[in-house]
Amino acid sequence: MTIRGEVLRSAQGDSTLDVASLRAAEFPWTSETTYLNNASVGPLPERTRVVLEAFNRKRAAPFQLPDRDIFAMTVESRRLVAELIGASPEEIGLAINTGFGLSLAARALPLRRGDIVLTSDREFPANVYPWMMLKDRGIELELVPTTAEGWPDEDRLLERLRDPRVRVLAISLVQFSNGYTVDLERLSAATRASGAYLVVDAIQGVGQVPLDVKQAPVDVLACGGQKWLLSPWGSGFVYVRRDLIPELRPAITGWMAFEGTDDFTRLTHYDDTLRGNARRFELITLPYQDFAGMNESLKLLLGTGVSAIAEHLRTLHAPVLEWAARRNVRVVSPVGDRASGIICVAPSDIGGAFRALKAARVICGMREGGIRLSPHFYNTVEEMERVVDILEVS
Ligand SMILES: Cc1ncc(COP(=O)(O)O)c(C=O)c1O
């Protein structure tokens, strides 16, 4: 098999990755199936599956998993996540999904009657319902209409941030239905200036779009591990900006959210002092096997470098964009700075095209009137060319 664009080099230039070897070693099923549905569920690399199975083998006889090993593993999880997004481990709380972090933000940020939470229309519901639920406290959710293309209208969002009642901007880093990547630095600067909180649903971006919360400060960022992080269901995290941590009191608390609970010989010496770091947001007990798996996947992604992954994904779009231009098919996704690894097209017979792809063992998604192709770093230009060949005759 010939594979173009094979060698990925990390932005730091300290590692290379051969896509053909990656496929053979970590995703052996790619020889039979073209999987372009990472925006729905990312596959587990072989190394992650092996770690999960080994962990569960020990779990069957739990004396093989002493507390100190479990807690050392969670320390590693926070460290790896922090490295991925430019945060410090103290700012990372482990969580079971994205909704957890978004609900935490909705419930713990100091909001009052009359305040407005701003988001873009067509956001994924995980970033809508927790805010809608604040209605009974007199807090309004304002859905700012998208642009004609269906993307978040950043100019309008910025305009609305001038209203002092707007206390939160809650937005996805990458839109689930078209791959639009927000200009986080711009939104960050605007919220820093207005004093509104910036809350980010990052699940469609982290792992495929470079992100550095030092460069583009955000207040709360929520992310599940199940998509671009190639991690088990049940893994994820919430980032809370360091200075904000002491101000947020979680509505739901785990018993290890409090100081002094690391000493299991003195657990009934109750002290209601919440931890000073983001562990105050963790709902221990967590699905530890999932974090064992996540650690392995994160090491693989970090070893490649997210910048290199992003670059590779852009090269994968070329055949689809070329075909769409030639056949006058609408591309629902942006190109250029606001693009991500997700590319969506809307041919006239979407249902027929989707069925043809499925029949040819190409797995992708259909979302909001478009066919969503979401390749990851193990996909190849040849696979995308095959997609085009199928779309051409469907
Ligand atoms: C933007 C976005 N947010 C959140 C989720 C999922 O949220 P959770 O991790 O809570 O299931 C998805 C996809 O399922 C998504 O596309």
Taking the C-alpha atoms of residue 100 and residue 81, their distance in angstroms, rounded to an integer, is: 16
Long-range contacts of the stretch 30-35 (C-beta < 8 A, 24+): 30/378, 30/379, 31/1, 32/361, 33/361, 33/362, 33/363, 34/360, 34/361, 34/362, 34/363, 34/379, 34/383, 34/386, 34/387, 35/363, 35/379
Distance 42 CA to ligand 1 centre (A): 12
pLDDT value, residue 227:
98
In ligand 1, the atom with minimum distance to the C-alpha of 97 is: 9
Distance 234 CA to ligand 1 centre (A): 12
Site to substitute for ligand 1 among 124, 174, 175, 231, most atoms within 8 A of C-beta: 124
Pocket of ligand 1 (CB under 6 A): 97-99, 124, 126-127, 172, 176, 201, 203-204, 224
In ligand 1, the atom with minimum distance to the C-alpha of 100 is: 10
One digit per residue, the tens of pLDDT, for the chain of length 394 reads: 334 444 554 443 344 568 999 999 999 999 999 999 999 999 999 999 999 999 999 999 999 999 999 999 999 999 999 999 999 999 999 999 999 999 999 999 999 999 999 999 999 999 999 999 999 999 999 999 999 999 999 999 999 999 999 999 999 999 999 999 999 999 999 999 999 999 999 999 999 999 999 999 999 999 999 999 999 999 999 999 999 999 999 999 999 999 999 999 999 999 999 999 999 999 999 999 999 999 999 999 999 999 999 999 999 999 999 999 999 999 999 999 999 999 999 999 999 999 999 999 999 999 988 999 999 999 999 999 999 999 999 8
Distance 19 CA to ligand 1 centre (A): 27
Give me the chain's average pLDDT, please.
Answer: 95
pLDDT value, residue 16:
58
Distance 15 CA to ligand 1 centre (A): 31
Site to substitute for ligand 1 among 98, 172, 367, most atoms within 8 A of C-beta: 98
In ligand 1, the atom with minimum distance to the C-alpha of 123 is: 1
In ligand 1, the atom with minimum distance to the C-alpha of 236 is: 9
Distance 376 CA to ligand 1 centre (A): 17
Distance 62 CA to ligand 1 centre (A): 32
For ligand 1, atom 13, which residue shows the shortest CA distance? 40
pLDDT value, residue 329:
97
Per-residue pLDDT tens digits for 4-46 = 444 554 443 344 568 999 999 999 999 999 999 999 999 999 9
For ligand 1, atom 2, which residue shows the shortest CA distance? 124
pLDDT value, residue 218:
98
Distance 236 CA to ligand 1 centre (A): 11
The two three-digit tokens of residue 25, written as one number: 């070693």
In ligand 1, the atom with minimum distance to the C-alpha of 175 is: 1
pLDDT value, residue 351:
95
pLDDT value, residue 208:
98
Per-residue pLDDT tens digits for 258-293 = 999 999 999 999 999 999 999 999 999 999 999 999
Distance 223 CA to ligand 1 centre (A): 8
For ligand 1, atom 7, which residue shows the shortest CA distance? 98
Distance 203 CA to ligand 1 centre (A): 6
pLDDT value, residue 394:
84
Distance 225 CA to ligand 1 centre (A): 10
